[in-house]
Amino acid sequence: MLLTVQDIHKSYATADGPFAVLRGIDLTLGAGETLALTGESGSGKSTLLHLIGGLDTPDRGQIIINGSDIAALDDNGRAHLRRGTVGVVFQQFNLIPSLKVADNIAFQARLANQYDPAWTATLTDRMGLTSQLGKYPEQLSGGQQQRVAIARTLAPKPRLVLADEPTGNLDEGTAAIVMDLMLELVRETGAGLLMVTHSAALAARLGRRLHLRAGQVA
């Protein structure tokens, strides 16, 4: 199994005391599988995604990716996981504004020492970014920026792709095109995909769907 999540708990300190965001979540995801995480705002779906991405640590429970428990990893180990094994697509794109599109796309693969020029060229071409390579992110539209971000995430060929409302900042038409491209390319790489979305329509396009309510699987 690519990903196994067992009994995850997470709470945050607030002015009114600890607030439990996740209260015992279990899920599994195999290679090539796609899973939509849905739920209302505050249901904990983004938190769960961050925990799986190693961006944060759970209070309790296990997250096992490719057989290793990421809770047992230190910052270095989690960074290593994020570089090569897991790729994250953010709602805010999070491109590096001072790097040109070409460098942004190659960035994570280079970071992971998994840069494959041929694959990167393929991604660029499929994303329709070939003519944009010399530009800076601020010169692109939102849809183009997210395509750069997706290409960057897929360039090192991650085993698991995490996406957090990847089209949340895009208009409907653009969102559909970007989503098609992402699903197609993830399928081709054989990676597992876990996507947070509040859109039932988008969720329906994925293999499975997990709905969260108040920190638990509904």
Partner 1 sequence: MTRATLQALLSHWWRNPLQLFTLLAGLALATALWSGVQAVNAEARASYRAAAATLGEGQYDRLGRRDGQPMDQATYITLRRAGWLVSPVVQGRLNGVRIVGIDPLTAPAGIGPVRLTQGADIADFLVGNGPLFANAATAGRLPDLQITITPDIAPGSAITDIGAAQRLLGKPGQIDSLIVAPVQPRERPDLADIAPQLVRQSAQGGSDIGRLTDSFHLNLTAFGLLSFAVGIFIVNGAIGLAFEQRRPVVRTLRALGLPLRRLIVLMAAELMFFALIAGGVGVMLGYVIAALLLPDVAATLRGLYGADVSGTLQLRPVWWLSGLAIALGGTAIAASGALWKMSRMPLLASAQPRALAMAAGQGAVMQGAAAALLLVIALILALTADGLIAGFALLGALLIGAALALPIILDRVLAATSARAKSITAQWFWADTRQQLPGLSLALMALLLAMAANVGVSTMVSSFRLTFTAFLDQRLASELYVSAQDATQAQAIIAYATPRVDAVLPIQSVETQIAGLQTEVFGARDHRTYRDNWTFLNAAPDLWDTTFAGQTILINEQLSRRANLRIGDTVPLQSQTLTIAGVYGDYGNPIGQALISEDLFAGLYPTVTPQRFGLRMDRSKVGDFVTRMAADIGIPASQTINQAGIKAFSLGVFDRTFTVTTALNVLTLAVAGFAILMSLLTLASMRVPQLAPAWAMGMTRAQLGRLELLRAVLLAMLTASLALPLGLGLAWALLAVVNVAAFGWQLPMYLFPADYARLGLFALIAAALAALWPAWRLARTPPADLLKVFSNER
Give the residues lining the site for partner 1 (CB under 8 A): 50, 53, 55-56, 75-76, 79-84, 88, 90, 92, 94-99, 103, 106-108, 110-113, 136, 142, 152, 171
By beta-carbon proximity to partner 1, the closer residue of 28 and 177 is 177
Name the minimum Å distance from CB 204 to partner 1.
26
Name the minimum Å distance from CB 74 to partner 1.
9
d(CA 97, CA 103) in angstroms, rounded, equals: 11
Start-to-end C-alpha separation, the chain: 23
Name the minimum Å distance from CB 212 to partner 1.
18
By beta-carbon proximity to partner 1, the closer residue of 39 and 53 is 53
Name the minimum Å distance from CB 92 to partner 1.
6
Cβ atoms of residues 19 and 180 within 8 Å: no
Q: Which among 8, 54, 2, 47 has a CA at the least distance from the CA of 193?
A: 2
By beta-carbon proximity to partner 1, the closer residue of 68 and 92 is 92
d(CA 3, CA 175) in angstroms, rounded, equals: 27
By beta-carbon proximity to partner 1, the closer residue of 104 and 189 is 104
Instruction: List, as one string, the DSSP characters of 115-165.
Output: --HHHHHHHHHHTT-GGGTTS-GGGS-HHHHHHHHHHHHHTT--SEEEEES
